[in-house]
Amino acid sequence: MHLALFFIFGGLAVLFALNLLLQRHPINSALSLVVVMMSLAVLYWSLGAEFLAAAQIIVYSGAVMVLFVFVIMLLNAGEEEHTRGSKIAAIAGLPGAAAIFCLLSFVFLSEGHKLGLSHLGGSLDEATSNISQISSLLFTDLLLPFEVTSILILVAILGAVVLAKKER
């Protein structure tokens, strides 16, 4: 099952990375990058790195992509032309989304029964989860680099706003 997940989501990551390069509009490229990041999160999850998968979704697919879209909108790269949409997306979008949903439902439900979880929200024991170890390391030994990184990101956001500000 892990091999099937690898081939499906690895293929999705490669296809949407190519789509990211071939798109003309920056918003469409940003949306393709979201699919790449989500595919990478599923690959991390299938390797047993649950924390890294969750961080991939929250940090990269969420926060960084919102920042990308914010900068794209601030730069106002020109008037967008309205198109009727991609024919490939219309043909393959709904069946592809249904297939991925069915595959993920099957994997989550079958893995949940193997782990002894009665439902998807069940808690894992300490031996299979490394989140507490990562968090204690992050907030004890690596606290200074963590805080410096957050300040650096804040300065970068402020710099992007100042550079994108239009002068009157």
The domains of the chain are located at 2-77+85-124, 130-168
Q: Cβ distance 53 to 45 under 8 Å? A: yes
What are the residues whose beta carbons fall under 8 Å from the beta carbon of 16, sequence distance 6 or more? 32, 33, 35, 36, 39
Q: For residue range 63-115, what is the model confidence (pLDDT) as tens digits?
A: 877 777 777 777 765 565 666 666 766 677 778 778 878 877 877 777 665 55
Q: What length does the chain have? A: 168
For residue 48, give both structure tokens: 């047993």
What counts of helices (H) and strands (E) characterise the chain?
7, 0
What is the secondary structure of 35-74 as a DSSP string?
Answer: HHHHHHHHHHHHTT-HHHHHHIIIIIIIIIHHHHHHHHHH
State the residue for tokens 């043909």: 91
How does the average pLDDT of the chain come out, rounded?
Answer: 77
Q: Domain 2-77+85-124 has what CATH class?
A: mainly alpha
CA distance 107 to 96: 16
Q: Is residue 145 pLDDT above 50, yes or no? A: yes
